[in-house]
Every structure is written in C-alpha cells, then in structure tokens.
Amino acid sequence: MSRFLRLHASALADALRRLGSQPVASLFSILVLGAAIALPVVAAVILESAAATGAGLDTEPHVSVYLALDASADDAKRVEQALRGQPDVAAVKFVPRAQALRELQASTHLAELLAALDRNPLPDAFTVRLRTTDVARLDGARAAWSRLPKVDQVVADFEWSERLARWARLGEHVLAAIGTLLGAAVAFIVAHLIRLQVVTRREEIEVSQLIGATAADVRRPFLYHGALQGFLAGAAALALAAGFAAWATYELSVLTPEYAAELKVVFLAPAERAALVAGACLLGLAAAWVAVSRELRRFTAGR
C-alpha cells in the first residue's frame, strides 16, 4: 500500500474509532442530522407525489366556445374557420348540441329532467386546445373569440391549471428554502461537533504539528469524521423518508382504495437516493473543512 493510501486508511480508521468510542452520542447526533435532512426529502416526496397525481389529470389549457342557440351550421363553420386561423390554437373540436345533450344525460342523474324538456337547452360548442400557457395571450384570444358573430360565451378552463402550476412553483420554492435552511443547520451542527473534537484534541494536534504533521495531516481524520457523519446522516434521512413513504402508501391504500391507481406516493429514484447520500457526505466534509481550518488558524494565532 502506498504512503498516500496508508495515510487515508489511517485517517478513516481514526474517524471510525472516534465515532465508535461514543456510540450513543454518535447515534443520536446522526439521527438528529438525519431527521433534519429527511424533512425536506419528505416534503419533496409529497410534492413529487402531488405532481404525479396532477399529471394524470388533463391540465392542458383549453377554452370552450359556446355558440348562440340560434346559430346555424354555416355560423358554426365560420366560427370554426376563425378559431383554426389562430396561431396559438393546437386543436379544435366541434361538439354538436345533440351530442352534448346525450353526454349530459349519460353522465348525470338529470336524464329524466332533461327528457321532460320540450327542446335541447344546450348550444353547439367548440373545445379549443391551446399551445400557449401565457395568461395574457390566452386572455387576448378569449376576448377576440367573444366578439365573433354568433358566439354567445367563451369559457376559459385554464385558470385552475395555471393556479395549480403556480402552487407547484411556490411549493418548489418553499421546498428549496427549507432545504437550504436545514442544509445550513446540518452543516452548522456537523461543524460544531467537529470543532468540539478539534478543541478536545488540541494537545494531540499541537504535538503532532511539532513533530512534523502538516495542516493536511491534522485535517485529514476530521474531514473523514465529518464526511462519515454526513454519509450516515444521509443514509438515516433516506431510511426515515422511505419509512414515511411506505407508511403514506399504506394509509392511502386503506383510506382511498378506489383512487389507488391515481393517488400514489412517488419516492426518490435510485440516482436521487445516491445524490442525497453523496450530498450529505459532501456537506459533512465541507462543514468539517471549515471547522478544522478555523480552529487551526486560532491555534496558530494563539502560539
């Protein structure tokens, strides 16, 4: 084994020994760090699951254009041509009033009531699917179509999808903020734990430096300690989040069996799990680096 590898193996062994020397304290600190990391992970799982559920719904923006009751087939053709001439329109579907009535009768409990009517109260209509989600352009199109001859009403069904998208964006921002805050908290806790270790081992550090240890030699075991703590905390967070996901999946299946196909908990993908643990490991490493460097500067200044 080369000297380089021996030094790193020795530093890793030292870090493991330090963690193992106080098993209860180490376990609790790792669990606390893991819980802090798990919180944004759980929030991300909830958000991801909500997004996945929403993806199953028709969220594409579309507009319903209702014609006047006295509109003729020629009027409908003219309106259809006008609609198809718009660049933002992806598809136009004509829904004749007879078909609309049949669908209404089939999908509601109003069949008898509707049958008792002497004439069809529903108008011909177009369902227009749009390419854009830009609110201003959609509003402009709606206003323009309202002015077409024999158009009675234009109803835009995109506001709710826009609202949903806005809520999703807000959720992502809140999640990012919480993640950043808790990440900073984790880094602070790791840095504090490492700082305590450095202070406790001050005598050893000073003697080591006197007999030839460089700053890198001194730093190395602490960096491994920080990285190990981060790694174990990341793994603990993953386990906690997986536990939450399993529990939520079970509760959803019990509470809403009829929606089991639509409502499902989406857990992190394998790559995301690896990134979580690696990120926590790097966070611990960075926190340890800052803490040790700071303390070493203080030791040197105090000499």
Partner 1 sequence: MIRFSAVAKRYPGGHEALRGVSLDVADGEMVAITGRSGAGKTTLLKLAAGIERASTGTVLVQGQNLGALGESALAVLRRRIGFVFQDHKLLFDRNAFENVALPLRIGGFPRLESARRVRAALDKVGLLDREKAMPVALSGGEQQRLCIARAIVSRPMMLIADEPTGNLDADYARAIVDLFTSFHQVGVTVLLSTHDEASLGRLGCRRVALAAGALAEEGAA
Kindly state the smallest distance separating residue 201's Cβ from partner 1, in Å. Answer: 9
Using an 8 Å Cβ cutoff, are 63 and 158 in contact?
A: yes
Neighbours of 105 (CB within 10 A): 15
Kindly state the smallest distance separating residue 204's Cβ from partner 1, in Å. Answer: 5
Tell me how far CA of residue 274 lies from CA of 33, 41, 68, 225, 279, in angstroms.
17, 13, 59, 20, 8
Is 3 an interacting residue with respect to partner 1 (CB under 8 A)?
yes
Among residues 6, 166, 169, 173, the one that binds partner 1 under rule CB under 8 A: 6
Is 106 an interacting residue with respect to partner 1 (CB under 8 A)?
no
What span, in angstroms and rounded, lies between the C-alpha atoms of 194 and 174? Answer: 30
User: What residues contact 278, with CB distance under 8 A and at least 6 apart?
Assistant: 234
Q: How many residues bind partner 1 (CB under 8 A)?
A: 20
Kindly state the smallest distance separating residue 203's Cβ from partner 1, in Å. Answer: 7
Using an 8 Å Cβ cutoff, are 126 and 165 in contact?
A: no
Among residues 24, 106, 116, 216, the one that binds partner 1 under rule CB under 8 A: 216
Spell 47-78 as b/e; 16+ CB within 10 A means b: bbbbeeeeeeeeeebbbebbbeeebeeebbee
Among residues 91, 207, 269, 278, the one that binds partner 1 under rule CB under 8 A: 207
Kindly state the smallest distance separating residue 231's Cβ from partner 1, in Å. Answer: 24
Residue holding tokens 């967070």? 237
- Residue with Cβ nearer partner 1 (97 or 225): 225
Is 301 an interacting residue with respect to partner 1 (CB under 8 A)?
no
- Residue with Cβ nearer partner 1 (10 or 127): 10
Kindly state the smallest distance separating residue 281's Cβ from partner 1, in Å. Answer: 24
Is 180 an interacting residue with respect to partner 1 (CB under 8 A)?
no
Kindly state the smallest distance separating residue 59's Cβ from partner 1, in Å. Answer: 60
Judged by CB under 8 A, the chain residues 8 through 47 that form the site for partner 1 are 10
* DSSP H helical ranges for 56-158: 73-84, 97-107, 111-116, 135-146
The closest of 248, 268, 278 to 45, measured between CA atoms, is: 268
Contacts with partner 1, residue ranges (CB under 8 A): 1, 3-4, 6-7, 10, 203-204, 206-217
